[in-house]
Amino acid sequence: MNDPKPFLAIIATPIGNLGDITLRAIETLRNSHLVAAEDSRRSLALLNSLGIRKPVVSCRSFNEEREAERLVEKVLHGESVSYVCDAGTPCISDPGSKLVAAALSKGIEPMVIPGVSAITFAATVCGLPVAKFAFYGFPPVKSGRRRKFVERIRDEDKTVFLYESPHRISKLLEEIREVIGPGTKVAIVREATKIYEECLRGSVEEILYMTRDKNWKGEIVLAVQPGYKNNNAQESDEDETNRL
C-alpha cells in the first residue's frame, strides 16, 4: 500500500465555541505529522480537547517568513503539515499568507479546510446589505491615518467590515459619526460564538448613546454602511412618488 501523499493544510479553527470545529479539520489534524500554530499554547489546548497528540511549532507574524521555508521543506520531504492561527481562518488579519505563498512557489497546492470566520459570522448577523462588502482589517492607531481610514470608508458604495480593539471602539464610533454622519448604520458584533456574544445594531448616534457607559471587552467586528444620506434621500424621493 502506498503512503498517503504529503500535504500542507490551512485549517480554520473555532473563534470561541469549540463545537464549531469541522469533522474534516479534525481528520486532517489527526493525519498531520506536525501542526504549525500562531500561538502554540492555545493550539495545544485545542488539540488536547480533541484528543489529538501532535508536535506543535510556532509560526507567528514575526517569524512566518523563516518558518514558512522550513515547513515547506518538510512537506517536500514527505511530511504532512497543518497550519492554524489563534482562532478563525488563517490569512484573514492573521498569519498564513506567507506560508501559502512559499508553498505555491515550490509547486505545493495548499489544502484549505474552511470553517468559522469572524467576518462571515458578522456578515450574516449584522442585518446590513452584504451582497458585496469590503474588509478593512484593523484601523491605524495614529489620528491622522485613522482620519484618512474613516474617509475611505465614507467613500465606499458597500458595507465595510473591520476589526477594532475594545479600548478604541468608542473613539472609532465617534470618528464615524463626525466623518460619515450620525445616521450612519452600523452593527457591532462582539465575542461571536462565545458565552457573552452580542450584536448591537442601529445608527452610530444610537449606538454611541446606548453604550455611553459601557466597558467594552472582547473581540469586536464593526460593520458600517456608508452613504446613509444618499439612501435617505432616495427613500424620501420614493415616498414623494408614492404620494403622487
List, in sequence order, every residue forming a beta bridge with 36; answer none if it has no partner: 57, 83
For position 176, what pLDDT does the model report? Answer: 97
**Per-residue pLDDT tens digits for 159-209:** 999 999 999 999 999 999 999 999 999 999 999 999 999 999 999 999 999
- Residues in contact with 29: Cβ distance below 8 Å, sequence separation at least 6, in sequence order: 11, 35, 47, 50, 52, 54, 82
Q: Which CATH number characterizes residue 198's domain?
A: 3.30.950.10
Same domain, 45 and 32: yes
Tell me the pLDDT band of 46, cut-offs 50, 70 and 90. Answer: very high
Same domain, 16 and 63: yes
The answer to whether residue 75 scores a pLDDT higher than 70 is yes
For position 60, what pLDDT does the model report? Answer: 87
**Per-residue pLDDT tens digits for 120-156:** 999 999 999 999 999 999 999 998 999 999 999 999 9
Same domain, 126 and 221: yes
User: In whole angstroms, how large is the CA radius of gyration of the chain?
Assistant: 21
Last residue of a domain, one of 64, 84, 113: 113
Q: Which residue segment(s) compose the domain that 175 sits in?
A: 118-232
Read off φ and ψ for residue 42, nearest 5 degrees. Answer: -65, -40
Last residue of a domain, one of 113, 138, 171: 113
Residue 243 domain flag: no
Residue 227 domain flag: yes
Mean pLDDT of the chain: 91
